[in-house]
Amino acid sequence: MGTKVRFDTVRVAVIGGGINGLGVAWELSRRDYDVTLFEKGRCGAQTSSATTKMIHGGLRYLEHAHMALVRESLRDRAWLLANLPELVKPVEILLPLYADSPRRAFTLRAGLMLYDLLAGRSNIARHMAMSADELTARVPLTADGLRGGFSYWDAQVDDYALARVVMSSAISDGAKVREETRVVSLRRKEKEWIVVTASGEEQRFDLVVNAVGPWMNALLAENRIHSRYILSLVRGSHLVLRSRVADVGMLLQSLSDRRVFFVLPWKGTTLVGTTEVMHRTSLENVQATGEEIDYLIARFNRYLRDPITYDDVASTFAGVRPLVGRALNPSAIGREYRLERRGNLLNIFGGKMTTFRSMAEKVAMRVDNYFGHVRTARPARFLGVKSGSVD
């Protein structure tokens, strides 16, 4: 007879306290693994708080036929709306169509129909066609060349607040979360991993999950860990305007490069973003460049009646997307995540904020597989939810 493994004695290290690492730590704690999460700074303070704040299926991913990703994201959107209504709120998005818009009405309608279909019964509301007059009555769009458009629904979240709530929930389910603790090396010793922190402390684990987001290439290279995946690092920047231009969101199409970008109501202000630029400098203190700010101001001024200048921009923020694979055009790189398990090491590549929960469940299933026991997770109950309104 084999030795019986006591569930709570299986020690798992999660490296990285962004939404993905926190989601994994929470999921594994609810399955009674003994989880320690290491975060070099504050949990949720990096990529996971520099997003467009959308909990969405990603309408534009349909253009690249990423059906599975959109379906999974829409399922997670519905779950978050139902289980975290204090933080995740439905938002209506208007999609205007101009005479020179790069995508035609037929394409947009087909995409929106598919989006509704993939959301199924948990859809927020079906999309609607709108006339040019209806659009300009609701949002300050320029009427010049406006042919009409559509309205559809997605959801918004305070991303940092979401990460902190997942952190509190993981702690209440037993995870040990160690902020301000950088992992400097991972050493294999027989069947265990030794995790070494910047202060020289060493701890042994039965399994390690690497969830360091954009730092993944560096972590693997520094520890000479071979992987079949490589991340492209693509910066995205946003403007936060001083005033609120509309109470609903807008999805606009840039003419020069066919990219889409959002103008969104955000805590009494307006969020404009984002860009997609290959990031080749340090991952610490990522900032929007002047070129990106000019790009966003120019695109905004193409469509909105009241043009903005630098004076209307209260602040900017930027983050780096960890995208799996390589391409010359950053917009063409898919948003799907990849999980790679090699024995008792599991690497997470990519992953949207929206899908943190589905991804964490898949990670947990692989961890269960490694230890040969399928565990049932305790129900997910968010803890420490304070008002993180997006209005």
Ligand X SMILES: Cc1cc2nc3c(=O)[nH]c(=O)nc-3n(C[C@H](O)[C@H](O)[C@H](O)COP(=O)(O)OP(=O)(O)OC[C@H]3O[C@@H](n4cnc5c(N)ncnc54)[C@H](O)[C@@H]3O)c2cc1C
- The residues binding ligand X (CB under 6 A) are 15-21, 38-41, 46-48, 50-54, 182-183, 211-215, 219, 236, 274, 319-322, 351-354
**Smaller CB separation from ligand X, 214 or 330:** 214
Q: 249: which strand partners?
A: 93
Q: How far is the CB of 108 from ligand X (least distance, A)?
A: 20
**Smaller CB separation from ligand X, 34 or 72:** 72
**Smaller CB separation from ligand X, 94 or 318:** 318
In the block, residue with structure tokens 């087909």 = 110
**Smaller CB separation from ligand X, 17 or 111:** 17
Q: How far is the CB of 373 from ligand X (least distance, A)?
A: 27
Distance of alpha carbon 78 from alpha carbon 74, whole angstroms: 6
Q: How far is the CB of 193 from ligand X (least distance, A)?
A: 14
Q: How far is the CB of 279 from ligand X (least distance, A)?
A: 9
Whether the link from the prior residue into 274 is cis, omega within 30° of 0, is yes
**Smaller CB separation from ligand X, 183 or 296:** 183
Q: Please, how many CA atoms are within 13 Å of residue 323, restricted to the half-sphere of its CB?
A: 23
In the block, residue with structure tokens 């090699």 = 342
Q: How far is the CB of 220 from ligand X (least distance, A)?
A: 11
What DSSP letter does each residue of 239-266 carry, written as one string? EEESS---SSEEEEE-TTT--EEEEEEE
Closest residue to ligand X, Cβ-based?
18
Angle between helices 159-172 and 19-30 (to 10 degrees): 20
**Smaller CB separation from ligand X, 146 or 272:** 272
Q: How far is the CB of 283 from ligand X (least distance, A)?
A: 8
Radius of gyration of the chain (CA): 22
Phi, psi of 71, rounded to the nearest 5 degrees: -65, -45
Residue type, 315: S
Whether the link from the prior residue into 51 is cis, omega within 30° of 0, is no
